[in-house]
Structures are given as structure tokens and as C-alpha cells.
Structure 1
Amino acid sequence: MSPSPLVSSTPLISNNSPTAIPTTVSPTEAPKFDINKEYNVSMETTLGTIKIKLYPKVAPKTVENFVTLINQHYYDGIIFHRVIDNFVIQGGDPTGLGNGGQSSFGHAFEDEFSENVKFDKVGLLAMANSGVNTNASQFFITLSVAQTSQLYKRHTIFGEVTQGFDVVQAIGRTKVGQDDKPLVDVKMTKVTIL
């Protein structure tokens, strides 16, 4: 069984699972979220730019959280702290250790699943978590379809890579050490809503 992208100090599936613990913060006032708006993301990294289309109608609360964190520049300067070959790249933990992160709501929030989206293609954007309804700021992007069926109804899918999958693959090929952490940091230098 392959590892699962998790957010927890105690991985649920294996020691190879991406991990983080959501923390409580004070929510900030943000512009009203519009479920009918198209949200696209530009994620500039030290290896190139990734463009992502978000799914607000599939996962409205998750997209609202991600957009709000992006507008707060939360992800700027954060590393991809976990890379699992032919599976996922994971980021979103400001500590860079895989056990931190916070949502824009001030608490962990619930999963959002849809029969309309499944882990059936590469380049899907989904939330990393430590179990049911424990989403915060960590996310992952799939590198393969082969090992992702176990993720369905465990991790909220809320977008997909539309450009720059070669960058995602380059991040996925970085050499890693202990806990699947890249030996050389790969950072999100600037993440913006287009």
C-alpha cells in the first residue's frame, strides 16, 4: 500500500505519509467568496511556474480557504516539504516540517467530496489531512494515477494543474532525505490568484 498525504504527527497509513497538525488562528476579514467565479492560481516556484484551476462548485469551503490564504500571501516562501516519487508533492506547512499549518477559518474544517471528481488523473490538487474533517493549509498535487485510488473520499480534491505539469514532475524528481523531504528546498516564491 502506498502512503497517503496526511496532516498529522501520527500518520494514519504509514510513516511515509505527508503530515501536519492544523493550528487555530484568528480568522481575518476577506472579500466575499463567489462560488460562481472562476478561480485560477499562479504558483511560482524555484523550479518554475505551475498554473492551477480551482473547483469552487465541487469544494466551495476548501477553495475559499485556499483563495483566502493565497490573498494573505500565506504560501509565499513556503517549501514543498514532502515529495513521494510517482505519488505526490506536498506543501503548505509554514514550519517546513510537515506537522504545521492553519486554515483561514481559524480552525480545521470539514472534507468536501463529490462523485463528479475522483483521483483519476495526474495533476490533481487536494487537501492533505490527518483524518476526517481536519483540513487546514496543507495540500498536495498528484504525480501519478497508479497509487491514488486509496485517496478517494479521504482527501478533498479542489483543483487541477492546467500548465506547468513539467514543473510538478521536476519537483517530484528532486532527491529526498528523511521523511521524504527534499535535500534542496523547493519553494513557492509567489502564489497569486489570476
Structure 2
Amino acid sequence: MQYSYFGDPVFAIDVTYTPGHFQSEVSGTIVIELFPQWAPITVENMIEHIEDGLYDGIFFHRVINDFVTQSGDPECKANGVYVPGLPAQCGSGGTGETIPLEHNENLSHVDGAIGMARGTEEDSADSQWYIAETEAHGLDPENRDDGGYATFGIVRDGMSHVRAIAEVPTSDDPTGTDLDNPFSTAGRPVYETKINSITMIGIADPDGELSMQTASEDTESSVGTTVVFAGLFVFVALGIGYVIIKSNSEEEATIYEAELIEENDTSKTT
């Protein structure tokens, strides 16, 4: 997941949040690359929801520092004034259409991975998703007996906003309590942490001139390889829908090092 692949769809999350009490509102963008070659059903599901505008105007309803920031519930919209805990159904909603649980040996809960929240049944993922704010390998299938959770992309730019959102004040101020299921409604932000819009912005081209340079703090990955993601992508403009170009190169298909999963971190599970 530390490498980008030509043709992978890329989307941008336009966010607005208040980092802390008596602080000014902050706006920013989080850029995420999806991996349809390894999680085709999950990626297609995400793109359909983005293109339908399902996520526009909702907020992050669950924030657990050093774990995950969760959103994707269309019920989680402020009706004029944001009130933590409202609407009551926020955190349990979706579209009513679920997808099967997808796993691939090339995908895991590395720092910045995006994954699908689900219920107790393996194939119950709908529209809700989360971003791992640190390595969360306790959610990987090999470290669980319930099938684990599906990852399908990774943050390529704007990780500083993810980390800032992870530290916003919450209604229950979580401090690392073991939370087993990323479908939980714990950790509601005190101030609205809003997704103004999510937009498909193009496809990735990892052969840009600045690929494989030293990363800034904002985009640094914990998996051992650092790149300047701002120069990593040459975005190809999209018309209607999107285009995914898959490489037939066996060498490219094996460039990801499966040895990235070096530790079985179960600190976030019971």
C-alpha cells in the first residue's frame, strides 16, 4: 500500500472542523487512492456513493484518537445546528444495500488506510467507512476470529487533517479504551467535523517527476517508504464516471511487499 499504481481512482474529501475549545475552524482536503485491483467490490461501492453525493454534508460521527475516524452514515447530518448525539439514528444508518467482505493479502490496516465499517455479520458493510489514524492491525482478518474488516485504499495527502480530527474534543473523550468494532457510535465530536463534499478527482500516475522524494510531515507514512504525494500523482481529468487502467505487468503486480504486516497489534481488540 506504500506504492501507487497507475489508473487507481483517487478522491478528495473537503473537510471543516474545530481542533479544540476556543480555536478557529479549520478547512482542508484529504486525498485518498483506492485499490480496485485488490478490492473491486468495495471500491465500486465507495465510488457509487461518492458520485451519488451520499457523503456530501455529513459529519464524522465517531472519533477515537490513535485508532480510527469514522464517517459515511447519510443519517449523520446537522439539522441547522450541530448537537452531539443528534440525530439519534446517527451512527447506525446506511443505504440498506450491503456488500460482501473483501480481503487481499496486499491490504492491511496500515497508518492512513481506509476501511469499511460493518455490523456483527461479515457481509454487512454498507456506506460507512473509517480512516486508520495509526496502524490498527488488530482489525486485520488474520488477527481476529470474526473475519476482520476490509481495507481498500490509503490516504495520499492531508494526513495532518486526519490526525487533527482524531484529537478533537468528543462527548466521551476516549483515551485508548479497547473498542472492538468500528461500527460503534462512541466518540462523537463536540463540534461538527463536517464533510463538505467528496469528489472523484482523477486517476493516479505514480511516475510523476517528484515520486520517491522525501515526504513532509503532512504526508509521511508509517510503513517505511516516504514520498512526496503532491508530486506522486498526475491526475487525469475525469468526464462522466471514471476510468480504471489495470497493468498486466507481473512485476508491477508484485511490487507491494507483503512483509509490511510485521506485527500483530491486538491492543485495540478484546
TM superposition score category, shorter chain reference: 0.7 to 0.9
3-state SS of 2:119 partner: coil
- Equivalent residue pairs, number: 153
> Post-superposition shift, 1:95?
1.6
In structure 2, distance between residues paired with 1:168 and 1:149: 18
* 2:138 is equivalent to residue 150 of structure 1: yes
* Letter paired with 1:80: F
Residue of structure 1 in register with 2:102 after alignment:
112
* Letter paired with 1:85: N
Q: TM-score, normalised by structure 2?
A: 0.55
> Post-superposition shift, 1:59?
0.6
Residue of structure 2 in register with 1:82 after alignment:
62
> Post-superposition shift, 1:56?
0.5
* Letter paired with 1:173: E
3-state SS of 2:196 partner: strand
* 2:89 is equivalent to residue 101 of structure 1: no
3-state SS of 1:188 partner: strand
* Letter paired with 2:159: F
Residue of structure 1 in register with 2:127 after alignment:
137
- RCO comparison, higher one (Cα < 8 Å, 6+): 1
**Once the two structures are aligned, what percentage of the paired residues are identical?**
35
CA shift digits 1:137-182 (9 cap, x unpaired): 000000111xx22211211111000000001011101000042100
Q: Which runs of 5+ in 2 are unaligned?
A: 1-5, 17-26, 77-89, 142-147, 173-185, 202-270
Residue of structure 2 in register with 1:12 after alignment:
none
Q: Which runs of 5+ in 1 are unaligned?
A: 1-35
* Letter paired with 1:174: V
* 2:155 is equivalent to residue 161 of structure 1: yes
Could you tell me which of 33, 36, 40 is aligned with 1:56? 36
Could you tell me which of 70, 73, 81 is aligned with 2:50? 70
> Post-superposition shift, 1:94?
1.6
Could you tell me which of 149, 171, 185 is aligned with 2:192? 185
- In angstroms, what is the RMSD of aligned CA positions? 1.3
In structure 2, distance between residues paired with 1:37 and 1:65: 17
In structure 2, distance between residues paired with 1:141 and 1:129: 14
Residue of structure 1 in register with 2:166 after alignment:
172
Structure 1 residue ranges (4+ consecutive) displaced by more than 4 angstroms after TM superposition: none
3-state SS of 2:75 partner: coil
Where do 1:38-49 residues align within 5 Å? 38-46=8-16, 47-49=27-29
